[in-house]
Structure 1
């Protein structure tokens, strides 16, 4: 990646919630190398996309899979026609509830072999889709349910899908 063409993306939250959350319907696009202070999760419902990271690692996302892009990680995205749920959790929210979040890196294995891990992954996917249903339908007190699902998702990510670094200089 050409370091001169990398941009910092400012992520603004939805007006009623502390995160950016939306259904993306993409007919095919390219997002140039960028970074942001938010934790980014994309859950692919239809179609596919490829995320390219600065270390030349490429991740292909297919239906039923989700990706996690850690805060401050440079990445670009090439999308085929797709429909995906996108969640960006600002660094300030992470700091509020996970004070040591700067020492965590999140990784999710989309194809676990262990039955316990498969079950855990399916639960995370259900939380993600339930967030969308609640936010789309907006029943009475939807903010309570949405936030409870968001916090459940974050709790699961921290406890099941994070690696803690004891020294920031390690990575």
Structure 2
């Protein structure tokens, strides 16, 4: 599978699909996707993480995150695709923010923030289906409310370190660092380089990154490179060596090592299993 294009109806920045899924291979798209399980359960893989999603649970898939879905039982899903171009008018860096929902255990999505999340999705569905007068304006208003609800309650850094919710300076700093890694992973970037940009010592910044994300700077960089290599393995005919260069690894053995750590197989084995010839 490969990158998909979302066809938004008329002038709306939203597509909603009611469906059931048995097997949906790895793909990604330039949209924010929200999966709402109405019935049954699904197994979902997002980049290097795989987990179960059960009835009444929600998952957010960020812009260009590779993901796949499978299930061996009857299920009913609502899938929302939201155009980031529309959202960027209200949060310009929307493509570089990562949202996260808690699927760690039963009851993890029982809080008021999830109730509000479901309520906003229900309002979107109502306007989308009924097509009442000015429904496009109503949909845009609800999408704006949803955007700020996600930023305030489902920003991935707030999940890692809840006190960041009230510390905008640190939250902005970690967001800048994540954005810099994502936009420069193919280059030979270093912690020292980022520390200089943030006017911090490398030692202090290293500690702060580990404290905020649970991972070291090097681990975050290698994970980003591995995740981006997945798209090239599936969506291009580049050799493993060429992909290695494209994503910033200095040698194929490093790509193989880190890829195997996250996916349990080599890049070549992954390509043979997942690449779809047309």
Equivalent of residue 75 in structure 1, options 50, 67, 77: 67
Contact 1:38 1:71 in 2 (8 A): yes
After superposition, give the CA deviation of every residue in 1:133-167 in whole Å (9 maximum; x if it has no partner). Answer: 22222222222222221211111011211135222
Contact 1:85 1:132 in 2 (8 A): no
Calculate the TM-score normalised by the size of structure 2. 0.53
Map of 2:148 onto structure 1: 155
After superposition, give the CA deviation of every residue in 1:2-51 in whole Å (9 maximum; x if it has no partner). Answer: xxxx5111112122411222222x2x421111111111101111122111
After superposition, give the CA deviation of every residue in 1:42-68 in whole Å (9 maximum; x if it has no partner). Answer: 11111221111231x112121111111
Contact 1:14 1:21 in 2 (8 A): no
Q: C-alpha separation between the residues in 2 aligned to 1:40 and 1:126?
A: 17
Tell me, yes or no, if structure 1 residue 17 matches structure 2 residue 12: yes
Tell me, yes or no, if structure 1 residue 146 matches structure 2 residue 139: yes
Map of 1:8 onto structure 2: 3
Q: Of Structure 1 and Structure 2, which has the larger fraction of its residues in strand?
A: 1
Map of 2:176 onto structure 1: 166
Task: Mark the CA change 1:91 to 1:145 in structure 2 (over 3 Å): closer, same or farther.
Answer: closer
Q: Of Structure 1 and Structure 2, which has the larger fraction of its residues in helix?
A: 2
Number of residue equivalences: 160
SS at match of 1:71: coil
In structure 1, the gaps of 5 or more residues are: 1-5
Calculate the TM-score normalised by the size of structure 1. 0.82
Structure with larger RCO (C-alpha < 8 A, sep 6+):
1
Q: C-alpha separation between the residues in 2 aligned to 1:33 and 1:129?
A: 28
Q: C-alpha separation between the residues in 1 aligned to 2:47 and 2:139?
A: 33
Map of 2:188 onto structure 1: none
CA RMSD of aligned residues (A): 2.1
Map of 2:53 onto structure 1: 61
Contact 2:84 2:95 in 1 (8 A): no
